[in-house]
Structure 1
Amino acid sequence: MQLSVIILNYNVRYFLELSIISVQKAMEGIDGEIIVVDNNSPDDSCAMVKQRFPGINLIENKENSGFPKGNNIGVAAAKGKYICILNPDTVVAEDTFAKTLAFAERQNKLGMVGVKFIDGTGNFLPESKRGLPTPWVAMTKMSGLYKLFPKWGLFNKYYAQHLNENEAGEIDILPGAFMLMDRQVYLDAGGFDERYFMYGEDVDLSYTLQKMGLHNYYFPSTAIIHYKGESTVRDAAYTKRFTGAMRDFYKKHFRGAFLMDGFLTLGSTLFIRSKQRKKAAVSPADNYVLFSKDEELCRQLEMATGKKIVRFAQYERNVLPSTNSCTEIILDNELLPFGEIIAIMQNHRHKCYTFRIRPAGCDFILGSDSSDSRGEVTLMDNEAPEKTL
């Protein structure tokens, strides 16, 4: 078997369903398997998987033991030569695995490969590629200095800004939302360190591979949607978890760092203050456009949203309203493949456009209007949208 895709899920049933549908499409023609590990979700994620995807290997943990342990359980059950660690809040293109596997096969001493991430508005997510977060580098990120001096080597290392978003190359750190690598390499590295619970484990594994003499690569020739981006919930609790993970990382790999606590404390303070500033609100949509052949879907969406929706049976760029008016674009996966949906989102990334996806065979649409939001699901049989994720 060539590839095992491992999706660790916790309480994101609708995003998981969308992700699995996209993965199944991307696995066509590949000898592979999908493994879903559920960390004791309180929603009906497991029931959904059993009903909609009976051929998937579903592992139901009896507790939420964290990101590292959950993925290690999935890898232990995997049969593929390669594994892909994948978040449930992602959407892959039809060519994602084929292209990434071909790239991986061409590399010598491969650690892992990551791809280009976009958020729910089509904007590039800089977390797609990162540098080693030394105390100084972590502080430049949390304080926002990397934004002020993006071309200065002293300040631009956190997001590996020596590479632009469309430039492939070797980097230090890849995010745990998408990691493709040889399964035996993962095992030789010890997998994810289970002393972490969330945050830090992807940094730890990436750096461990480098210490083994292997190379990590950013490969932007295929893009995926990552709805939560890097921002999960960017508040004081997030900052505490992040700084705690960095302290654990330095204790493990560098036996502590004299200036680490000072840098991280300063960076955390500046980070929290920056997040306390008022965020720009997403303007309500003035127009709703649906790309679908399904007239009944249009009617159902109008009932669910209470909005007038203009439907087009095929995608044409020039039918969209002006970017001076806020427009929600609804993309039906029955009409458009995921790769084209991702391309449309990138081509129309603009503050006045928001996007929703209707997965093939599903009675809901979902999306996210910013990297700081946790996503929204609209059920066809509901009068009001259900917010989740």
Structure 2
Amino acid sequence: MKLSIVILNYNVRYFLELCLKSVEAAIKDIDAEIIVVDNNSPDDSCTMVKHLFPNVVLVKNKVNSGFSKGNNMGVAKAKGEYLCILNPDTVVAEDTFRRVLSFAESKLDLGAVGCQLIDGRGKFLPESKREIPTARIAFQKLKGKTDNYYNNTLGIDDIGKTDILVGAFMLLKKTVYDQVHGFDEDYFMYGEDVDLSYKILKAGYSNYYYGETTIIHYKGESTIKDKVYAKRFYGAMEIFYRKHFKKNVLTSLFVKLGVKLAALRGGNTVNEELNFNETIVVSDSIPNSLEAHLKPPITLVSDLKDITQNVQVILDLNYLSYRSIIDFMKHNNASTQNSYRILLKNSNFILGSDSSVNRGEILLY
């Protein structure tokens, strides 16, 4: 088998359904399997997977074992030569895995490869390519200075080496994953991807950013930017420094100060208010049950070129491809007052997110 896609889920049933449908479309011509590990979700994620995706390998945890342990459990069942660690709040294009696998196979020193991530409004997520977060760099990030935290030597659409990749999408050989002992289970949530990327570098491999393909990451579903997040994030950095850097008093004090400041400061959870002039549905028809829930005036268009600004856009997967939706969102993110929702095939909801720091929105109809 060529590829095993491992998805760790916790309580994001609707985003998981969209993710799985996009993944199934992307592996039609690849010898691949999908493994979902559920960390004891209180919603009906597991029931949905069993009913809608019978070919998916489902691992049901009785407790929330955290990101590292959950993914390691999924990888333990993987049969593929390559692994893709994928978040449940992502949407891939039909050619995502084919293109990234082709690139991976061209690199003899490949450790892991990531791609370009955009949020629910089409804005580039700079954590797609990062530098090694030394204590000083992490402390600067806490103060809002991110110039050295992200890899700014590579352009958004470039291809090249980068130190650190984001765990929302990481593709690597299973042999490499096993060689570095996978995700370190000392991390419960946050920091695991930094640690794994760094272990891969220390093992003599190179990590790559492949900016020629893009996926959506509804980041707020898995990373709510509150005080709990901030404390856990900098706590994870403390574990990272303790494991990988020489101990000295200055670094220890630096890190502990960062953790305390993070706990006090917390994160920004303010949503931007979006005021829509109209709702535009890109499709050949609008379901009556959906139309009753949309804000008027409502316009039906057949071409993405007909989208204006200050509107809410409903993108119908019965009519559009995943690739066309992702490309449209990416290239129209300058229209900052636009909001995007995706209408799934054979489902009764639309979803999307207007913020990368808070949860997205699901509308059932």
TM-score of Structure 1 vs Structure 2, range by shorter chain? over 0.9
Structure 1 residues 271 and 39, CA, compared in 2 at 3 Å: closer, same or farther? closer
Match of 2:341, as an amino acid? Answer: R
Deviates more, 1:124-133 or 1:265-274: 265-274
Cα shift at 1:2? 0.3
Provide the alpha-carbon RMSD of the alignment: 1.9
Paired with 2:262 and 2:4, the residues of 1 have a C-alpha distance of 41
- Are the equivalent residues in 2 in contact too, given 1:170–1:216 (CA < 8 A)? yes
Gap change, CA 1:352 and 1:272, over 3 Å in 2:
farther
Q: Name the residue aligned to 1:9.
A: 9
Runs of 4+ in 1 over 4 A off after TM superposition: 270-276
Offset of residue 310 of structure 1: 1.1
1:62 Cα offset (Å): 1.1
Distance (whole Å) between structure 2 residues aligned to residue 201 and residue 108 of structure 1 = 25
Preserved CA contact (<8 Å) 2:99 2:213: yes
Is the CA contact 2:89–2:222 (under 8 Å) kept in the aligned structure 1?
Answer: no
Structure 2: runs of 5+ lacking an equivalent? none
Residues 271 and 132 (structure 1), Cα distance of their counterparts in 2 relative to 1, 3 Å cut: farther
Q: String of CA shifts for 1:175-204, please: whole Å, max 9, x gaps.
A: 111010001110111011111100111111
Unaligned runs of 5+ in 1: 147-155, 381-389
Q: Does 1:166 pair with 2:166?
A: no
Asked if 1 retains the 8 angstrom alpha-carbon contact of 2:90 and 2:217, the reply is yes
Measured in 1, the distance between the counterparts of 2:230 and 2:296 equals 39
TM-score after normalising by structure 1: 0.89
In structure 1, the partner of 2:319 is 335
Structure 2 equivalent of residue 283 of structure 1: 274
Alignment map for 1:220-369 (pairs within 5 Å): 220-228=211-219, 232-264=223-255, 265-266=257-258, 269=261, 273=265, 275=267, 279=270, 281-295=272-286, 297=287, 299-305=288-294, 307-312=296-301, 314-317=302-305, 319-321=306-308, 323=309, 326-349=310-333, 350-369=335-354
SS of 2:186's equivalent? Answer: coil
Structure 1 window deviating more from structure 2 (79-88 vs 368-377): it is 368-377
Partner of 2:49: 49
Moved more, 224-233 or 8-17: 224-233
Matched residues in 1 for 2:259 and 2:231: separation? 11
Partner residue, 1:152: none
The letter of the residue matching 1:45 is: S
Q: Percent identity?
A: 50
Give the 3 Å change call, closer, same or farther, for CA 257–91 of structure 1 in structure 2: farther
1:379 equivalenced with 2:351 (yes/no): no
How many matched pairs? 363
With over 3 angstroms needed to count, the CA separation of the structure-2 counterparts of 1:229 and 1:108, relative to structure 1, is: farther
The alignment's TM-score, normalised by the length of structure 2, stands at: 0.95
Aligned to 2:97: 97
